[in-house]
């Protein structure tokens, strides 16, 4: 049995005051939902105040990191820095970073290795564009991403990874993939992981769906066999909604 995992991706939202307001409203209530792992992936400046409220099933994550150990990389943050302030998770390869900040499968792969080296749990994002879906190349695109992104990772590392399937056309658009499409593609990701690492690993790895997840569609998405959770943008910013989304993930 895979434990459901709900992660909020705040993107570039919330100041320190807004963060404190959110976490005071959420932490105790989410922590009591023991059957779900919940994660808040926040901007760097507020991570420090969030980790203080971390508990067994409420963990804090970053949204990016650099692949180098340290060095002259102005404006970047390393895995060791995140680990040193007790950050637990890190999103790697979000489509917004791939599209706007030159993230490639090669840098994603280096970042995954570096995250594991510093005991951060990566949430790896993969997904196809609308043009790719419409031309029937979704499976090829995703298989290619997974093979390149996971290259050189061990079975144990992959078993500790979370993969988020985020079709680019469903992010921030209000268009959710139907639960059937989301489940089918998450199932395909599981198959690719199985081909690479064996069925046992495929059974263990947790795969989330992301893209316009909200209160009105979470129940149906979570009822699907291959969907183990959600990576949620907009709807994760409202404290009461985030609590309800986590509660809805109890399978």
Answer whether 235's CB lies under 8 Å from 127's CB. Answer: no
Tell me how far apart the terminal alpha carbons of the chain are, to the nearest angstrom: 10
- 147-206 binders of ligand 13P (CB under 6 A): 166, 171-172
Site string (88-117) toward ligand 13P, x via CB under 6 A: ------x-----------------------
Burial class (CB in 10 A: 0-12, 13-18, 19+), 6: buried
From 72-80, 147-155, 200-208, 225-233, span contacting ligand 13P (CB under 6 A): 225-233
Closer to ligand 13P at the Cβ: 93 or 183? 93
118 is catalytic: no
Q: Which of 4, 122, 167, 234 binds ligand 13P (CB under 6 A)?
A: 234
Element (H, E) at 25: helix 16-31
Q: Which of 26, 142, 227, 231 binds ligand 13P (CB under 6 A)?
A: 231
Within a 10 A sphere around the Cβ of 234, how many other Cβ atoms? Answer: 18
Judged by DSSP in three states, 184 sits in helix
Per CB under 6 A, 127 contacts ligand 13P:
no
94 is catalytic: yes
Q: How far is the CB of 4 from ligand 13P (least distance, A)?
A: 16
Closer to ligand 13P at the Cβ: 66 or 97? 97
Answer whether 204's CB lies under 8 Å from 193's CB. Answer: no
Q: Which of 61, 93, 167, 233 binds ligand 13P (CB under 6 A)?
A: 233
Q: How far is the CB of 143 from ligand 13P (least distance, A)?
A: 21
Question: 157: closest CA among 115, 204, 116, 198?
Answer: 116
Burial class (CB in 10 A: 0-12, 13-18, 19+), 123: buried
C-alpha pair distances (Å), 173 with each of 11, 130, 177: 15, 12, 11
Per CB under 6 A, 122 contacts ligand 13P:
no
Per CB under 6 A, 229 contacts ligand 13P:
no
Question: 91: closest CA among 193, 144, 161, 148?
Answer: 161
d(CA 57, CA 248): 15
Say what the alpha-carbon torsion angle 166, 53, 76, 229 is, to the nearest 10 degrees: -10
Q: How far is the CB of 149 from ligand 13P (least distance, A)?
A: 16
Per CB under 6 A, 128 contacts ligand 13P:
no
Per CB under 6 A, 213 contacts ligand 13P:
yes
* Residue of 34, 159, 166, 203 marked catalytic: 166
Contacts with ligand 13P, residue ranges (CB under 6 A)? 9, 94, 166, 171-172, 210-213, 231-235
**Residues classed as catalytic:** 94, 166
């Amino acid at each position: 049995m895979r434990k459901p995992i709900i992660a909020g991706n705040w993107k570039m939202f919330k100041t320190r005051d807004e963060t404190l307001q959110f976490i005071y409203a959420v932490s105790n209530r989410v922590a009591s939902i023991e059957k779900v792992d919940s994660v808040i992936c926040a901007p760097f400046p507020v991570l420090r105040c969030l980790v203080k409220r971390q508990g067994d099933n409420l963990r804090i994550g970053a949204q990016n990191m650099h692949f180098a150990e340290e060095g002259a990389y102005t404006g970047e943050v390393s895995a060791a820095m995140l680990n040193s302030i007790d950050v637990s998770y890190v999103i790697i390869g979000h489509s917004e970073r791939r599209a706007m900040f030159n993230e490639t499968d090669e840098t994603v792969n280096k970042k995954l290795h570096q995250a594991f080296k510093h005991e951060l749990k990566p949430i790896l994002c993969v997904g196809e564009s609308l043009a790719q879906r419409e031309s029937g190349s979704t499976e090829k695109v995703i298989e290619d991403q997974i093979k390149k992104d996971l290259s050189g990772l061990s079975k144990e590392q992959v078993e500790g990874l979370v993969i988020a399937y985020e079709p680019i056309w469903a992010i921030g658009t209000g268009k959710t993939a139907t639960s059937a499409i989301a489940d089918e593609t998450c199932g395909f990701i599981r198959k690719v992981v199985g081909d690479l690492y064996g069925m046992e690993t495929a059974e263990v790895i947790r795969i989330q769906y992301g893209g316009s997840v909200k209160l009105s569609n979470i129940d149906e998405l979570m009822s699907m066999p291959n969907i183990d959770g959600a990576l949620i943008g907009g709807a994760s910013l409202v404290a009461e909604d985030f609590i309800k989304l986590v509660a809805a993930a109890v399978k």
